[in-house]
Amino acid sequence: MRKAPSAAIPYSGRPAYAPTAILLTLLFFVPVRSTQAQTGDIDPNEYYAYDLGIGVGYKSLSPVTSSKHDYSSLEFSGIVKYPIPSFVYIQPTISLGMLRANVIEREDEPAGKWDHNEFFGLVGAGYTNRFSKEFEFGADLLFGLSMSLFDNLFAAQPDTTFGQMNFMLSAAARIALDPSYNLSINIEPTLKYSASFSPLRDFNNLLFGVGINLQYRFGEDPDAAPEIIRAVRFGEPRIDALFAALQSWYVSNPIGSVEISNIMSYPITDIEVTFFQPKYMDNPTLIAQIPELTPNESKTIDITASFNGDVFDLINVTPLTGEIKITYLARNKPAEQTRTVDYELYDKTAITWTDDRKVAAYITSRDSAIINFTDAIRRYTENHLNSGLSDKIEVAMQIYGGLTITGSDYQVDVVSAFEQAQENPLIVDVVNLPRTTLKRGYGDCDDLTVLYNSLLEAASIETGFITTPGHLYSVFNTELPASDYLMVHPDKTLTLAIDGELWVPVEITMLGTDDFLAAWRRGAEEWNTYQDDPDKRAFYRTRVAQQTYRPVGLLETDLGLQYGESDRIVDAFVSDQGRLIQQIIDSFADEARRLDNKRAYNQLGIVAAKLEKYSQAEAAFTRSISLDRNYTSPQVNLGNVYLLQERYFDAIEIYTAAEKILVDRGRKDSELHLRIMLGISRAYYELENYDKAIELYQYVESVNPDLAQEYSYLAQSPGTT
């Protein structure tokens, strides 16, 4: 190649560029369809986003700045656009093409001297805003390099081609009609500037023209039917055998899993996965929400299930087929796929011992049959309660005795004993509901434990259960401080100190063979057997376990039960109660005899009086007084016992003796002295000497009104207002 001459060539005029109005007119004759995305809040740019666009174009351009030549250019180009997935408004763009410059030569120049072809390659970006499926507008800004080739520039050397490199800048506006998702027709008014790197700058001009660009877009039309999309591949779903009793557990804990994979070359978004079991679910259970699954990405999803109450009506084991459904957006197009899964659902009596806490699901304290039995047994014995004994222990005795008298006893389940099932979690065991065990009158250790605990819970007593190797039995909370164990049982090893409270274990399988106290002792011995190996024993609170395994639902019916012979139930209760009371008193009596001092005998008397053993209390207080005639505590306590026994003259006598001692010691009007005065007032009141009773009461009231308020009835005689 040779350099171009530097001599300027005179400019002889400028022709008008070719008209393109007919191309604009065509846009208004293309039919327009109404589309799904033109309504609502859908963004057409997102909804109709495409993967890649390729196109071809034609433009007619003419210089708009002062030029040394009169010419026009025709452009033929190809274009590639790639919308950014996260921001589809912007499309990186590549354009390759050719400009053919046709120059009107002067009369003294050879024809075609300045005609040339300019080949270009440009890069840049486009901006597009679609305001419906059919219409969009935008702009492109591109820059790059071009090569101009002159074939006839040198008349003397006709076979020589002159070439020069140029910098090129292109700016175009676009208005487009999209008759379909894949086809776009663009009208493009364009400004194009070229600057030569060589001395020949005759064509360093700004050109303007209008052209047309036809573009094909790759992708799937989101308005097509969703069922044609199969972007997800399901792995083989797995659901373990299920148990109706664990209905509440399955709401938030997995019953199985399924893997999903995106098999497309583009991401899918807004993914929701549900599980549904016809008949046994009111609505599908949402098991996963995933914002995005990238190409070839897989996720394993845990399956949970919100079953309705109909699962409790199943009998034995039922094969079921559930449905896993996934909904998602594929290129903003909604789609769904489903997959079935087979599994087995056992009835409400079935259980596997993968977690001992599961037994809490069978403790149904709100069952009317359980409540009615508890109320009946407590009514039989309500006139034989002892105010000094733990009311929780008394209720436990009543119910144990009631079960014994009504014929309940322990029988090993020969089909699936707890011992075998506990050792092998794959064995399906049977735990009968409390109402079933109550009606048939027998059960194994788990049946009797859930029955006994249900009856105690119905009486508002907190229960628990203990597991040891091959065994399960009951325990209940006395709600007494652990420091008060002597008022529960003198043998400290027979109680469990849990969180500062005393719990009583009961070997419930001794029903029908021994009494409550023997069952209590056996339960404690079993617990203590593993004292040096605590990993082999476990304690669970029923109410805590039921936060995880809620009680099974029941269709309650009247069982038509007889609640046993009331006299025999009372006799059993009174017998157990009396022996426990005597054991407690005997422990304090042994301690008093060992120490043989006034305080020990006074304490013995207090315990005996609290447990309503007044003769033993009187003997203990009398012995304490004999050891120290000036010790006022046993005298006051003995006066209180006389009041309880309605021995009012004896009460006045002993109160008066104690009162004199306090006065002699200068402790008149102390709280103890005032309580003695109230005791004397109460005795006179019961003897109907109201004037004396009121006189003493008014004296106490003048000194300590708050203390006197406890016995305000002494302020006036009966019949007055």
Q: In sequence order, which residues have a C-beta less than 8 Å from that of residue 546 and are 6 or more positions away? A: 360, 361, 363
Tokens describing residue 72: 């026009």
* Per-chain mean pLDDT for the chain: 87
Question: Closest Cα partner for 94 from 46, 48, 140, 148?
Answer: 140
Dmax over CA atoms of the chain, in Å, equals 157
| Residue range 303-344, pLDDT digits in tens | 999 999 889 888 889 999 999 999 999 888 889 999 999 999
3-state secondary structure at position 239: strand
pLDDT at 38: 43
At 22, the pLDDT band (50, 70, 90 cuts) reads very low
Over the range 46-70, which residues count as b (16 or more CB within 10 Å of their CB) and which as e? bbbbbeebebebbbbbbbeeebbbb
Q: Which helix (H) or strand (E) holds 620?
A: helix 614-627
Is residue 289 exposed (0-12), middle (13-18) or buried (19+ Cβ within 10 Å)?
exposed
Residue that is written with structure tokens 């049959």 in the block: 369
pLDDT at 721: 58
Phi, psi angles (nearest 5°) of residue 477:
-95, 120
At 4, the pLDDT band (50, 70, 90 cuts) reads very low
DSSP assignments along 86-120, one per residue: TBTTEEEEEEEEEEEEEEE--TTS-TTSS-EEEEE
Where is average pLDDT lowest: 13-17, 399-403, 459-463, 594-598?
13-17
Q: How far is CA 73 from the centre of its chain?
A: 70
| Residue range 235-292, pLDDT digits in tens | 999 998 999 999 989 999 999 999 999 999 899 999 999 999 999 999 999 999 999 9
At 228, the pLDDT band (50, 70, 90 cuts) reads low
| Residue range 598-647, pLDDT digits in tens | 999 999 999 999 999 999 999 999 999 999 999 999 999 999 999 999 99
Question: Closest Cα partner for 233 from 156, 150, 324, 321?
Answer: 324
Interatomic CA distance for residues 679 and 702, integer angstroms: 16
Q: How far is CA 189 from the centre of its chain?
A: 60
Higher pLDDT, 351 or 77: 77
- The full 3-state SS of 246-302, as one line of letters, equals HCCHHHHCCCEEEEEEECCCCCEEEEEEEEECCCCCCCCEEEEEEEEECCCCEEEEE
| Residue range 517-556, pLDDT digits in tens | 999 999 999 999 998 898 899 999 999 999 999 988 766 6
- In this structure, the number of other CB atoms found within 10 A of the CB of residue 281 comes to 19
At 558, the pLDDT band (50, 70, 90 cuts) reads low
At 7, the pLDDT band (50, 70, 90 cuts) reads very low
Tokens describing residue 37: 């995305």
Tokens describing residue 71: 């010419």
Q: What is the number of alpha carbons within 13 Å of residue 21 lying toward its C-beta?
A: 1
3-state secondary structure at position 588: helix
Tokens describing residue 372: 């009615």
- Residue 550 per-residue DSSP state: P
DSSP assignments along 388-450, one per residue: TS-HHHHHHHHHHHHHHHTT-EE---SSS-HHHHHH-TTS-EE---HHHHHHH-EE-HHHHHH
Amino acid, res. 544: V
Q: How far is CA 719 from the centre of its chain?
A: 64
